[in-house]
Amino acid sequence: MKADATTDPELACPISPVVDIVFSRWTTPILWSLHTFGRQRFVELERRVTGITPKVLTQRLRQLERDGLVVRTYHPEVPPRVEYEISELGRSLAPLFAHLTEWATANLGHVERAREEYDAAGSPR
Amino acid sequence: MKADATTDPELACPISPVVDIVFSRWTTPILWSLHTFGRQRFVELERRVTGITPKVLTQRLRQLERDGLVVRTYHPEVPPRVEYEISELGRSLAPLFAHLTEWATANLGHVERAREEYDAAGSPR
DNA sequence: CCGTATCCAAATCGATACTG
DNA sequence: CAGTATCGATTTGGATACGG
């Protein structure tokens, strides 16, 4: 079960709830794939989100669907066809993701260099 | 060990690397506390970030220090005194966090309602 | 005060196999 | 195709106790 900011003091940080929803494992690659390549079937996502297993993909898709970020459409054909697409609500994350990408472009190098320095310092006193 | 976008295709999503750095467990409450209440000592953080154990707090602080988001200052006194503060780089996340908070304010309710609907639908066919 | 060490519980993941 | 079931491996976290 997930904690929530109002009941759990450990999350007395206004953004923790969002983080749980938007940045839990595998969600960003999935949302990004849906956002970038549009509506997709299960196998397409499976191929695109490299390394994910069908089990985990299902779990994450269900969670995203439950949170209203993704819409699942089932076509009762033979063979069955299911399509996933980003919802309106999911699309509203786009500027946020863009912002994140900007920060990455500008600062990921700094993080890299900070790590090198830190590691180079060894375990000094 | 952490994967990285250039070596690991599963992260062929431009924002995954940032997520690993900025949104891994406990980091947002810690950064938020440092950002909001300023420079703090270990115990203050321990109290503020409710529920965290010293072990985990140390782990996360080391990681943040290594990534250059937090600065640790050791004062060799008796008793020893250590202070943590957000770095320049860490501060550069502020607009991003603000953006996140905005999204939360505007849309967290939608997520809540989506969940209720989803759960209300039960496991229907 | 500021951590570290140790041990154990729990959550998550991954691999594999199988169904409607 | 679109998943589910099962199981074991791995990672992560918490509790506790102790040290410089």
Task: Name the minimum distance, in Å, from the CA of A39 to any CA of chain B.
Answer: 17
Task: Name the minimum distance, in Å, from the CA of A18 to any CA of chain B.
Answer: 6
Amino acid identity, residue B32?
W
Q: Which nucleotide is nearest to A42 (CA to C1')?
A: D2
Amino acid identity, residue A121?
A
Show pLDDT as tens, one digit a residue, over chain B (125 residues): 334 343 344 446 888 889 989 998 899 999 999 999 999 999 999 999 988 999 999 999 999 999 999 999 999 988 899 999 999 999 999 999 999 999 999 999 999 999 999 999 875 54
Domains and CATH numbers, chain A: 9-92 (1.10.10.10)
The structure's pTM equals 0.87
Alpha carbons B49 and B26: distance in angstroms, whole number: 8
Size of interface A-B (CB pairs under 8 A): 133
DSSP, residue by residue, chain A = ----TTT-GGG-STTHHHHHHHSSTTHHHHHHHHHHH-SEEHHHHHHHSTT--HHHHHHHHHHHHHTTSEEEEEE--SS-EEEEEE-HHHHTTHHHHHHHHHHHHHHHHHHHHHHHHHHHT-S--
Instruction: Flag whether residue A43 sits within 8 Å of chain B, measured between CB atoms.
Output: no
Hey, what are A54's tokens?
Answer: 């069908």
Cβ contact B68–A114 (<8 Å): yes
Collect all residues with Cβ–Cβ distance below 8 Å to A13 and sequence separation of at least 6.
Answer: A5, B28, B29, B32, B33
Collect all residues with Cβ–Cβ distance below 8 Å to B124 and sequence separation of at least 6.
Answer: none
Would you tell me how many other CB atoms lie within 10 Å of the CB of residue A58? Answer: 13
Alpha carbons B101 and B72: distance in angstroms, whole number: 27
Per CB-CB distance under 8 Å, the chain B contacts of A17 are 104, 108
The 10s digit of each residue's pLDDT in B4-18 is 343 344 446 888 889
Hey, what are A67's tokens?
Answer: 């949170």
Beta strands, E only, B15-69: 40-41
Instruction: Flag whether residue B120 sits within 8 Å of chain A, measured between CB atoms.
Output: no
pLDDT below 50 — which residues of chain A?
A: 1-11, 125
Which neighbouring-strand residues pair with B86?
B70
Hey, what are B109's tokens?
Answer: 């309710």
